[in-house]
Each structure stands twice: as structure tokens, then as C-alpha cells.
Amino acid sequence: MKRYNRIFILTGAGISAESGLATFRSANGLWNNHKVEDVASIEGFERNPALVHDFYNNLKAEVQNVSPNAAHLAITTLQEKYPAEINVITQNVDTLHEKAGNKNVYHIHGQINQAVCLNCAQVLETWGDVDTETVCPHCQVMGMMKPNIVFFGENLLCMDTVERLLRQCDLFVSIGTSGVVYPAAGFVQSAKYYGADTIEFTLEPTANNYLFDKHIYGKAGETFPQFVEELLAAL
């Protein structure tokens, strides 16, 4: 096992599966009984904002009742014990990385505990419900709040930082993402182009698996802590 100086960890829904949160593309193609397009697209939000708010309010309540699992906690251990710059770039809107004590977490697809006002662009942080009658605390306009979730057709957050980290990393780790949603699915290609080793932790082969040097199949809560132990043992 090599010594690494800059580790880029990309996470997806699979890392939260063992905490009890549903992934997006499980066998029936539904996410908590909804089509992803209905609850994660601008068109879906414009069509039926009440349904979209309701969906994320329910997810928010669900997220508050779940705990980080061994994979999230292993990232904390790695960040505490391994002498490298370790950044976590997550597609997950849950906040389990933060709950586990992970540092340097970038939410490229937004966060469940935030809403953004479409009138003044201010972000409201709240674990309470947000709906079509919520008044923006900044501009006082009612009915313009949108869950701060990056929907299909919107730009990802923190991309300047992400692009810099992709250029700099010498190890790219992907945990629990199917590799079908771009641009995140293309991150591994950039990291590899700039010279990083690439490794993925997943249950089954992913759409972009040919870009990874190594594949570790199994539950991330078991496989990733084992990998962290190996990295630490090689110090």
C-alpha cells in the first residue's frame, strides 16, 4: 500500500444505505416510492411544488432519525489518524458525514436541512418543514422557497473547489455511487488523468467501473473500514 498525500473521497447513496436510507436506483427504480424525475428535477418542482416540498420534508424527518454507520465513521478515523489532506465530496443530501464528525465535507448536490429563496437567493438553514407558504426570512416574500437540492438541469455546488481537489489528489476513492449521474460520474476520469490511483467501493459493478484501478465489492460499512485499517497499517 502506497503513502498518499491528498485523498479525494466521493460518496453516493450507497454509503448511507446501511444507516437505513434508500438509494436512488434500487431494483424498482423508485426513490422512496417516487420517480426521481418527479422529485429531483426543476420541471417536477414547477409542476407540483407542494409534492416536492412534502417529499423533502418527509426525507428531512427520516434523516434526523438515522445515524452514521461504520463507513462514515471510518472516514473520521482516517481524517484523524492519516497524515494527508482528506476531502469528502458527497452527492448525498443527508448530513451523516457531519454527524459522524467528518471534516472538509462538500455537498455538491445540496443539503436536506437547507432551502434557497428563488427571489433573493439567500439560503435558509432549517430542520423544520418548508412549504409553498413559507416566508423567506431575508426578503419576506412568500412561496419562493425551494429545497436546496441540486435538481437535474441545475449546476453543482462547490465546483471550483472540486476541480482543484481533483487536480491535486493522488488517491481517488468512490463509495456507494452508481456512476450514472454526471458530472460527478466523470470525476474519476479527471482524477485519473491527473495521475491519481482510483478505487471504488460498491455492491455491484458501476456504470463507469472501467475507470477504476481497483474495485472492492461488498457493503461499504464492512469493506471501507478494512481499507482504512490497511492504509493506517502501511504508515
Catalytic residue IDs? 109
Largest Cα span, the chain? 56
Q: Torsion angle of alpha carbons 208, 175, 155, 59, nearest 10°? A: 130
Stretch that binds ligand OAD, among 54-62, 119-127, 187-195, 196-204 (CB under 6 A): 196-204
The answer to whether residue 203 forms part of the interface with ligand OAD (CB under 6 A) is yes
Out of 28, 33, 204, 235, the only residue in the binding site for ligand OAD (CB under 6 A) is 204
Cβ 215 to ligand OAD shortest distance, Å:
11
CA 113, 115, 116 angle in degrees (round to 5)?
150
Spatial distance between the Cα atoms of 151 and 43, rounded to a whole number of angstroms:
9
Residue bearing cell 456507494: 176
Site string for ligand OAD, 31-70 (x = CB under 6 A): -----x---x------------------------------
Between 24 and 227, CB nearer to ligand OAD:
24
What is the SS3 assignment for 139-183?
CCCECCEEEEECCECCCCCCHHHHHHHHHHCCEEEEECCCCCCCC
Residue 115 in the binding site for ligand OAD (CB under 6 A): no
Q: What is the dihedral of CA 23, 26, 29, 33, to 10 degrees?
A: -60
Closer by beta carbon to ligand OAD, 24 or else 187: 24
96 binds ligand OAD (CB under 6 A): no
* Residues in region 135-164 near ligand OAD by CB under 6 A: 149-150
| Alpha carbon distance 145, 122 (integer Å) | 10
Which set of grid coordinates corresponds to residue 141? 416574500
DSSP code of 110?
A: E
- Would you call the peptide bond into 68 cis, given omega within 30 degrees of 0 as the criterion? no
Which of 7, 14, 76, 136 touches ligand OAD (CB under 6 A)? 14
Of 142 and 158, nearer to ligand OAD (C-beta) is 158
Q: Pick the binder of ligand OAD from 7, 10, 13, 59 (CB under 6 A).
A: 13
Nearer to ligand OAD, 44 or 76 (CB): 44
* 178 is a contact residue toward ligand OAD (CB under 6 A): yes
- The alpha carbons of the chain give a radius of gyration, in whole angstroms, of 18
Say whether residue 95 binds ligand OAD (CB under 6 A): no
**Which residues contribute to the site for ligand OAD (CB under 6 A)?**
12-14, 17-18, 23-25, 36, 40, 91, 93, 109, 149-150, 176-178, 180-181, 201-204, 206, 219-220
